[in-house]
Amino acid sequence: MAGIERKHHVVIVGGGVAGLEALIALRDLAGDRVEITLVAPQPDFTYKPFAVEEPFSQQPPERRALAPIAQEFGSRFVQAAVEGVALDEHTVELSTGESLEYATLVVCAGGRLRPAFRQGSTFLASGELLIDDVLTNAAAAPSRRIAFVVPPGVTWPLPIYEVALMARTRAEALGLVDLEFLVVTPESGPLIMFGSAPSAEVEALLRGRRIAIETGSYAHEAEDGTLILTPGDRLLEAGDLIALPLIEGPGIAGLPADQHGFIPIDDNARVVGADDVYAAGDGTTFPIKQGGIATQQADAAAEHIAARAGAPVQPQPFHPVLRGKLLTGDESLHLEHHLEGGSGEGSAALDYLWWPPHKISGRYLAPWLEGTTPHAEPDPPRRPIDVEVSLPKEWHREPMALDPYRPL
């Protein structure tokens, strides 16, 4: 494989969760065997999982400049967008006009977000959700109902439940105690990808906050902009709505991709059909788009690259463990589900199920953010009982066989 015999120059594309996890992991595992360049279009790393709180607290999520982060780990930072990849030449074409050579490329470019519907508000984790206006509009409508919609298609549903729970608290603070809340989702149960037990806990939490939920419902936009729910072809009656965005692949020129722009990877996070190229995060074909999963893919890639660079590392394939922290405006609910292995119902607890207890449980990124030492696995001091469920098929061959809307 081209360039693998010489000292590695690893180019990491993307300054998000997966990109930083890959950077820190590679430096730890490969040491001075690799030279690393981090490329990202934005100058800062934004910790997006807490962006869900911004409409309610008016506090933006944590940001850290990427240049000093790269310097901390003995790497170079280049602020530029990636225009394409020339696989035969082992080069990355940048928006600055520069061509950057690589021995190994790690693509952590993430997915592209787009609104699912023309009406209502889309939660894009950008601080643009005017929650008080949305609640007031919904309360003034004849239905006196606000809907929170998970659209059919590729998305990550957890934030809609956080927004609904926090919005209920805000509505009561505004005196809108009679406003009806409804979550509409194609999932067979709320957050069913975490297993049946966590899903039941989330449903009980919603009911306790007077938030109704309609599962197994697919929202489609009619020509006049109204939302129709199937099955049943029913009109969604609501004074206003908040919907999650759909996620599309990065569609980087020169890289293999499916019809939606997502990059196919194998169980070591290598890009299928592209030598010396790896990928991690929302931009891959793995159907669950979540930060913790992205860090696990980045770890698999880093281990494989480090071993190829001569480090004494036994690379392990990507074994997805889904860990999520549901923010409620009060106590947070920790959810965990191993997506392969045996069988089980998943775990849910108010206590920590991983350590450090960041919203994203990256092996390297979370301890770095916390200022502590990385652990072999992000387990808490008191290890919980692991509950696992088998993947239906080899996910990297038929990724969409893993349906996040049904029990896994």
HSE-CB at 129 with a 13 A cutoff on CA atoms is 32
Nearest CA-CA partner of 188 in 197, 199, 177? 199
Q: Region 183-197: what's the mean pLDDT?
A: 95
pLDDT > 70 in the chain, percent: 88
The pLDDT of residue 75 is above 70 = yes
Characterize 216-240 residue by residue with b for buried, 16 or more Cβ atoms within 10 angstroms of its Cβ, and e for exposed. ebbbeeeeeeebebeeeeeebebbb
Residue length of the chain = 408
pLDDT tens-digit profile of 208-230?
Answer: 999 999 999 999 999 998 999 99
pTM: 0.90
User: In the structure encoding, which two tokens stand for residue 91, read together?
Assistant: 């080069």
- CA-to-CA separations, 137 to 54, 211, 241, in angstroms, rounded: 20, 18, 10
Phi, psi of 240 (to 5 degrees): -160, 165
Asked if 359 and 325 touch (Cβ cutoff 8 Å), the reply is yes
Q: Region 292-319: what's the mean pLDDT?
A: 95
Nearest CA-CA partner of 51 in 143, 140, 118, 113? 113
Instruction: Indicate the residue type of 338.
Output: H
The pLDDT of residue 401 is above 70 = no
Nearest CA-CA partner of 313 in 323, 299, 296, 293? 299
- pLDDT computed for residue 276 by the predictor: 97
- pLDDT computed for residue 373 by the predictor: 65
- CA-to-CA separations, 340 to 110, 302, 391, in angstroms, rounded: 24, 21, 5
- pLDDT computed for residue 342 by the predictor: 45
